[in-house]
Amino acid sequence: MNHKTDSKTGIATGEPKPPWKALWVLALGLAMIVLDSSIVNVSIPAIIDAIHINLTDAQWITALYSIVLAALLLPSGRLGDMYGRKRLLQIGTVIFVAGSVLAASSHTGSMLLLARVVQGVGGALVMPSTLSSVSANFRGKYRAAAFGVWGAVMSSAAAIGPLLGGLFTQTIGWRWIFLVNLPLGAIVFFFSFPFVPESKAQGSGASSGLGLLSDTGGILLSAFGSAFVVFGLIEGETYGWWHPATNFTIGSLTWSQLAPISIIPVCLLLGMLLLAGFVVVELHRKRSGHLVMLDVTLFKISTFGWGNFTAAIINAGEFIVIFILPLYLINARSLNTLQAGGVIAVLALGSIVSGGLARFVSAKLGAGGTVQLGLLLEIGGVLIAITLMNPSLPLWPLMVALVMYGLGLGFASAQLTSLVLSGVPIAQSGEGSATQSTIRQLGTALGAAVSGTALSVAVGVTLPDKLSAVQGLPEQLINGLIAGVKSSAGNMISGMRAQGTHGQLGVLGPQVTDALTSGFVQAGQLALAFACIMLLLALLASIKVRIASEKVATAHKSEQ
């Protein structure tokens, strides 16, 4: 071990050389968790065909993982602070790998969703352990470099995921998008023993852990509050945003489509009330001197409050981009999953380069300015990509736009983590790290929920006019085609294109396919425009973060 750790704070002190080998083990653990969020997206069409699921189930395959991850990050992060971050990392890795094996062996949608829950539990133990361990073991000039690596790995893993997903799906089968976690998990688990220092926070121990577990109300309120909100966002198009569109059935209970109001606004309202109750419970426990999962008073720190809001919006917008582009490439451009994954993976080129340069750019622009530069590049890259979404255009200009987007991704991710934690007291860095991871994952869950909804709504806007222009199509058939495109996330377009004039529509097949393709492209552009709006909101919020961080830096200088 290269340096000592303060037993009271869990923060590295004294020795100048941090444990770089530990950083790479932690980075691989992080990459494994993040990879599993994006590696699935490009393989969704193959999974839909293989186990016969619809768009809603497909959204849940990605969203459920993020929901469980977000719901359990806070208690997991706090348990890591108390019982040891290295220990939680190892336990989480074992659970995550077990969930991956279950996912790879799934033959039904229900089994795959269960596996994603198990993966989410494991991921919730791993992710905060990586960030908290980096925060505990790297200080001074090494801290910025370590956070740069952490941020670059997060963005690069998300970008490389589609390439690996496409490669596995096209060659050895989609089940390997989960089996790849076996060797990764084994490396993280075994190399963590010699290389990763154990660290705990002040007052750690069994009594503290039991004190945290006594916050059952907080755990349940945060978990169910998040679940209800994300469920409402995912299922709004299916069950109706206000008036019921169809019956909702769970077990023996049914919410009738004849009810005066849809179940969706009820779930959204209930979710927000539960989250508000969570805040009240945590404030009360804090005032009473009990341990809390989330010290909501941390959000009074401007860099922390605005920084987390920025991080959540960024993650949501970025997920929409990663969700929409593979569907466009496969269903509108007729690329196979391997080719689509290769196109998306050029994001990694930009993010790796900018992640490495972020520290030097930050020396010129400051951390806040680097985040803003990154967001400007992301917005510009997406806007250019929207204009280039035309099946008749070559792919290389789109890939250039994605490299630009990747550059922004690396700049924003590498510095935002350090910026958010800049004003947090050292003794609360573990708690702050866990909170930030939670907020990021809530943003990802929001993106997973909104992406499918945005695409589905956009398809409903663009396709009716396109199909009405094809003469000879009855209205009932038009409605059926629109519903089919929505439920398959556009995957049925590829099937109709392959059938040509030999499908059920006969000679009208190619015309209908062209109309569907044109409408689907426009829908994808609208969904990406929505992602741009979210990134623009993040850019505006980052201005507040930058101002707050400059005040913190000035205050620190005056104290010296």
Among 319, 409, 421, 405, residue whose Cα is nearest residue 370: 409
What angle (nearest 5°) sits at the alpha carbon of residue 154, between those of residues 150 and 160? 135
Token output for 541: 């919020």
Q: For the segment 310-364, what is each residue's pLDDT rounded down to a tens digit?
A: 888 888 888 788 778 888 888 888 887 778 777 887 877 787 788 778 778 877 8
What does the pLDDT average to over 128-132? 75
Q: For the segment 389-413, what is each residue's pLDDT rounded down to a tens digit?
A: 988 899 999 999 999 998 888 788 7
Q: Is residue 218 part of a domain?
A: no
**pLDDT of res. 201:** 62
Q: How far is CA 50 from CA 106, 107, 122, 509, in A?
A: 10, 8, 26, 24
Higher pLDDT, 162 or 44: 44
Rg for the chain, CA atoms, rounded? 23
User: Taking 70 as the threshold, does the pLDDT of residue 378 lie above it?
Assistant: yes
What does the pLDDT average to over 109-122? 91
Q: Spell out the residues 6+ positions from residue 340 whose beta carbon is closer than 8 angstroms to its own.
A: 42, 162, 166, 325, 326, 329, 330, 333
**Cβ contact 265:232 at 8 Å:** yes
Domain containing 375 — which CATH number? 1.20.1250.20
Q: Is residue 307 part of a domain?
A: yes
Among 134, 110, 121, 112, residue whose Cα is nearest residue 22: 134
What angle (nearest 5°) sits at the alpha carbon of residue 334, between those of residues 328 and 339? 85
Q: Count Cβ atoms within 10 A of the Cβ of residue 249 and give its class: 0-12 exposed, 13-18 middle, 19 or more buried.
A: exposed
Higher pLDDT, 417 or 525: 525
What does the pLDDT average to over 417-440? 72
**pLDDT of res. 1:** 43
Q: Spell out the residues 6+ positions from residue 519 whose beta carbon is closer than 8 angstroms to its own.
A: 459, 462, 463, 465, 466, 467, 485
User: Taking 90 as the threshold, does the pLDDT of residue 167 lie above it?
Assistant: no
User: Taking 80 as the threshold, does the pLDDT of residue 193 lie above it?
Assistant: yes
Q: Is residue 168 part of a domain?
A: no
**Cβ contact 160:352 at 8 Å:** no
Token output for 529: 């425009």
- The C-alpha atoms of residue 76 and residue 126 are separated, in whole angstroms, by 9
**pLDDT of res. 77:** 73
> Looking at the DSSP assignment, which residues form a beta bridge with residue 12?
5
Number of domains in the chain: 1
Q: What is the mean pLDDT of the chain?
A: 80
User: What residue numbers bound the domain in which 460 lies?
Assistant: 295-559
User: Taking 90 as the threshold, does the pLDDT of residue 439 lie above it?
Assistant: no
Q: Is residue 114 part of a domain?
A: no
Please state the pTM of the whole predicted model.
Answer: 0.71
- The C-alpha atoms of residue 445 and residue 442 are separated, in whole angstroms, by 5
What does the pLDDT average to over 118-128? 88
> Residues 199, 435, 353, 340: what is their CA dihedral angle, to the nearest 10 degrees?
120
Q: Is residue 341 part of a domain?
A: yes
Name the phi and psi angles at 4, rounded to 5: -85, 165
Token output for 10: 């869990």
Write a three-state SS string for 197-216.
Answer: CCCCCCCCCHHHHHHHHCCH
What angle (nearest 5°) sits at the alpha carbon of residue 75, between those of residues 136 and 321? 85
**pLDDT of res. 154:** 63
Q: For the segment 39-88, what is each residue's pLDDT rounded down to a tens digit?
A: 786 677 788 888 887 766 776 787 678 778 767 777 777 777 777 888 89
Q: Spell out the residues 6+ positions from residue 436 whose beta carbon is closer than 8 angstroms to its own.
A: 131, 307, 308, 311, 417, 420, 421
Determine the straight-line distance between the first and last CA of the chain, rounded to whole angstroms. Answer: 30
> Residues 525, 54, 36, 352: what is their CA dihedral angle, to the nearest 10 degrees?
-10
3-state secondary structure of 175: coil
Confidence of residue 251 (pLDDT cuts 50, 70, 90): low
Higher pLDDT, 93 or 159: 93
Q: Is residue 555 part of a domain?
A: yes
Confidence of residue 10 (pLDDT cuts 50, 70, 90): very low
Higher pLDDT, 536 or 446: 536
Q: Is residue 231 part of a domain?
A: no
Q: Is residue 258 part of a domain?
A: no
